[in-house]
Amino acid sequence: MNAPANAAPSSGTPAGGARQLHALRHAALLGLIAALLVIARWRLAAPAALPEFALYGALHAAALAVSLRVPPAWQRQLLFVAAAALACELLARLGIVALEPAIARWPNAGAPAVLSACGLIGALAYGVLIRAILRYPLPWAALAALAPACAVAIYAAFIAARRWPELGGLWLALFWWSAFSAGLWRTDSRRAHSRRELA
């Protein structure tokens, strides 16, 4: 039997100019998660750095996976969450290793430079995971523009953490989440608008 002409493509993405992401759902989930993390950070002792960043990676990945308009199979969603957590932990390890020599060489600029570089690398790695595992159509050009924005967000988070240290590494996650998700939303909106104009 032939598929209807208006059926969604077999790749699991919406047909035509439809948006890929439930932006409001994604923003609401991230807002709720952020509020719970802030409350927990105020009430509990600061967690160890490596498990902390693995958790942040898993939470953003879960919020993204369940916010897709055509979600992939649950196995892919779980794989994506696990891969994002692992990538964040590995990147945190890399950052910790690089921090000490960077600070020794550049006392004022070493820490923000390393953290911003980790933010940029993390965005690129996360974008690859989104494309490969979720099969989300994030263009390479959009990812190339999004990654530097994440680096700038991490630099801003570093400044905030120095002024208000109570939230520690959570600042990095919140600023990075905001930059990356805003980039996804902008890319999704521009793609949908362009396809509507061509229709």
pLDDT tens digit sequence for 136-169: 999 999 999 999 999 999 999 999 999 988 888 8
AA letter at 191: R
pLDDT attached to residue 32 = 97
Is residue 130 included in any domain, yes or no?
yes
Is residue 69 included in any domain, yes or no?
yes
Task: Say if CB 5 and CB 159 are below 8 A apart.
Answer: no
Is residue 134 included in any domain, yes or no?
yes
Is residue 3 included in any domain, yes or no?
no
Domain count, the chain: 1
Q: Give me the domain span that covers residue 170.
A: 23-186
Is residue 123 included in any domain, yes or no?
yes
Over residues 2-50, the pLDDT tens digits come to 444 343 333 444 544 578 999 999 999 999 999 999 998 877 665 555 6
Is residue 10 included in any domain, yes or no?
no
d(CA 23, CA 27): 6
Reported pTM: 0.85
d(CA 102, CA 140): 30
d(CA 70, CA 22): 10
**Residue 73 burial (CB count, 10 A):** 9
Is residue 4 included in any domain, yes or no?
no
Is residue 9 included in any domain, yes or no?
no
